Amino acid sequence: MRVIVTGSSGGIGKRVCEYLKSKSIELIELNSSKVNFSNDFELQYDDISGLVHCAGINKINSYKNTSDEDLIDVFNINTMSFIRLCKKINFNPNSKIIAIGSLYASETKNGRLAYTISKHALYGAVKNLAIEMSINKCTVNMVSPGFVDTELTRKNNSSERIDELERNIPLGLTDADQIAKICSYLLLENTAITGQNIIVDGGYSLIGI
């Protein structure tokens, strides 16, 4: 099985790649050093049976200070690149396609206008493609993490905030392995789940910290 993974150098993408390799899945790893996801791009890969789209950016700003350029940049990388990949890749029948989403595909908070719009739209794309690609028995799903214990999470949050999250999220910060294992299931075993947003947040969305 040959699977393309984007954003393979990020905290979640890197762990997804490590875990999938342990399952003897052949990976094609694409990150920003190989593909400019903010613009159109060309791909030349055949015999592809899976895609895990982890590439994404987040520009935090109030709606009044969010420029059109920032909206377009975030939307291009988080949403349009997924659609472009699905259009350009000649998937095998029964392929498995996964978009890494976010809690912001259904929720939001201050300063997350561009990111929220992009992830809401990404889920819309997942649902539509799940219908259109079912003709070839392909599944298309979103996996939406909450707070995942990665270097970036710890960099972007104070130690006090990390402690608060660990105390108050019902199951604490999510280990990146959990995201990787769900992706592995969807790639290797799933034949009935499609068009779904699978939230993996340790219960964060239940209480809204």
Beta strand extents in 31-186 (DSSP E only): 48-53, 91-100, 139-145
- Report if residue 205 sits inside a domain: no
pLDDT digits (tens, 9 = 90+) for 64-105: 999 999 999 999 999 999 999 999 999 999 999 999 999 888
DSSP letter (8 states) at residue 73: H
pLDDT digits (tens, 9 = 90+) for 131-179: 999 999 999 999 999 888 887 777 777 888 888 888 889 998 999 999 9
Q: What is the pTM of this model?
A: 0.93
- Report if residue 118 sits inside a domain: yes
| Token digits of residue 55 | 């590439």
Domain that holds residue 19: 2-199
- Report if residue 209 sits inside a domain: no
**How many domains in the chain?**
1
pLDDT digits (tens, 9 = 90+) for 29-56: 998 888 989 889 988 888 999 999 999 8
